[in-house]
Structure 1
Amino acid sequence: MNSVKSILKVVLNAIIVAALSYGLYYFVFNIWLSSYTNHGESVEVPNLSSMSIQQATQTLDELGLTYEVDSVNFDPKMKPYSIIDFYPNSLSKVKEGRRIFIKANPKTYRPVELPDLVGKSKRLAFTQLDISGLKIGNIIYEPDLAKDAVLKILYKGQIIKPGTVLPRFAVVDLVLGRGMLTGVRTPNLVGLDITSAKNSIKENFFELGQIKFIGSSQDTIGARVVYQFPFGGDAYDQGQPIDIWLSNKTMSEIKNQLKMLDREYKKFDEDTIQGNQYLDMLNKNNPQPKVEEIKVEASTSTAPQAPKVSEEIIIE
């Protein structure tokens, strides 16, 4: 009898535990959870296609929906800040707080960076500019050893550096090397100071060669070019060096030194003449012109002195 009562008691306890468990399960998953997650409640996604991005975000805020906007790619066929696409689609039922993905049209194209083109070939520069979304305007050629290589990039007339941010489809001009010309007349530098001589050499696309001095002074402030090689007016290739001689003395004071230079560079025994005159004389087979020798009167109180030997210093 006692054993039967014990069995009934165990069965009764099991029934009570099962009933309590079922009640707790029903309460959690049907009453409390539904209330917590707004089960059965939904929000209808509005049609955003006719709205601007400002109107769309304001509408979603009012409905309790979140959003993520992608405005990277510009579509010129659509108005700026208009909605291109969105997901979930309109009339879809979503829960409050659901994220809506919006693809919007930006105001204009995304800016691009200028690639590093200096020193690159013309063909490679054209390809990289096209990939970057930039347009090529004028092609300008300047004398340079690197033929058809990019020397500079211009935007609105100003030199720009690699990495400069430009509007997409901006027009840039390319400055390319055209190679050096041959047989170009060299500038006449005799009588110029060192700064003017350097500028003249650079403007004519030659290089400055050796700088030498005639006389004891090596001061370039008051010195003038008294000799050059190749001579002014000679036919010469651009990019080649021109050597110059400087002196603080007058041409008559260094007459003998100039004659020595003529013998070395012109193979000519008379006084200094311009290089182009000498070449023209040889080409026309004219007789050697006589140049009147300039005599410098010595003081009666002192004996004539031998001319000083020129002192040359080579500056690399």
Structure 2
Amino acid sequence: MANISTRRASDLLTHIGIVLALLAVLFLGFFFVYLPFTTNHGQTITVPELSGLSVDELKALLNDRDLRYEVSDCTYVAGMEPLTVYTQYPRPGAKVKEGRKIYVTVTKLTAPMVPMPKLVDLTKRSAELALRSNGLDLGTISYKPDLAKNSVLQQLYNGQEVGPGTPVPKGAKIDLVLGDGLGNTTFEVPNVIGKPLDEARLIIKGSNLQIGAVISVDDPDKEVGTVVRQKPEPRPGDRIRVGETVDLWVVGPIENEQ
């Protein structure tokens, strides 16, 4: 009986080679022809800068580039137009494929409300930090007579006093009224002429006044350390305000103590 050709070793190898060649063609065709054609392999689009665009501008720009978008979050940003793009992902300049979705954060139409912090009795610096940590801004600063220098006396929003815990819009400007450190209490100028310097200092400080310049003068008729002149002078009817200064002229050398 004659041998069938496929049983011969050479024919078997030929058939195996044909099968392997067909598999290789299919493999290469799938990965280098079919997949690139269906997935636009190698074709990329540069993501544009979207920050500051309105939603309508965003939609038109991405449609022109065969891209899509999705609003992933909304936030309020003081000073930015509402309903505009604040952040985006992927970032500008990134390379993406057609149809890629760009995720954007859009600014809110209205500001959220935040509780007003308690600023009264804080220093100006502490009040600024408290405002910033609560998403509020410092407005105008004014002063009124008070012994507590640079201490917050009033907190105002839109010209009206606003108490702690009151809801105010995030980013609102809060005006502060601070103490000028002088107060508004006035009284007659104390007379320290003829008194020893130590006693004069006690009288001035005890009157909630400040000691200004202490000037040495010669006066052989007066005992060393005696106050011979002061400014303002203690004239009848003259008044001085709490916190103001008094300059002294003293006989002989001056001690450094104030």
TM-score by length of 1: 0.37
User: Which of these two proteins has the greater Rg computed from alpha carbons?
Assistant: 1
Scaled by the length of structure 2, the TM-score of the pair is 0.43
